[in-house]
Amino acid sequence: MHKIMFVCLGNICRSPMAEYLFKDMVKKAGREKEFDVASSAVSSENVWNGVGAPVYGHTKALLNNLGISCDDKRAQVLTKEDGEYYDLILCMDDSNVRRAKNIVGTSNADKCKKLLSYANDSGDVADPWYTRDFQAAYKDIMRGLEGLLNSMD
Q: Which is nearer to ligand 4NP, 4 or 13 (CB)?
A: 13
What is the closest distance, in whole angstroms, from the C-beta atom of residue 14 to ligand 4NP in the complex? 3
Q: Which is nearer to ligand 4NP, 34 or 91 (CB)?
A: 91
What is the closest distance, in whole angstroms, from the C-beta atom of residue 77 to ligand 4NP in the complex? 12
Annotated catalytic residue 14: yes
The sheet carrying 2-8 orders its strands as 35-41, 2-8, 88-91, 112-114
Q: Which residues bind ligand 4NP (CB under 6 A)?
A: 8-14, 45-46, 127, 129
What is the closest distance, in whole angstroms, from the C-beta atom of residue 33 to ligand 4NP in the complex? 28
Catalytic residue among 82, 93, 124, 127: 127
Quickly count helices (H) and strands (E) in the chain: 6, 6
Residue 14 CB-density burial (10 A; 0-12 exposed, 13-18 middle, 19+ buried): buried
Q: Which is nearer to ligand 4NP, 14 or 111 (CB)?
A: 14
What is the closest distance, in whole angstroms, from the C-beta atom of residue 147 to ligand 4NP in the complex? 20
15, 11, 10, 9: which is closest to 145 by C-alpha?
Answer: 15
Q: Which is nearer to ligand 4NP, 34 or 139 (CB)?
A: 139
Alpha carbon distance 93, 43 (integer Å): 14
Annotated catalytic residue 127: yes
Tell me the residue number closest to ligand 4NP, measured at CB: 10
149, 138, 136: which is closest to 22 by C-alpha?
Answer: 149
Alpha carbon distance 26, 55 (integer Å): 21
Catalytic residues: 8, 14, 127
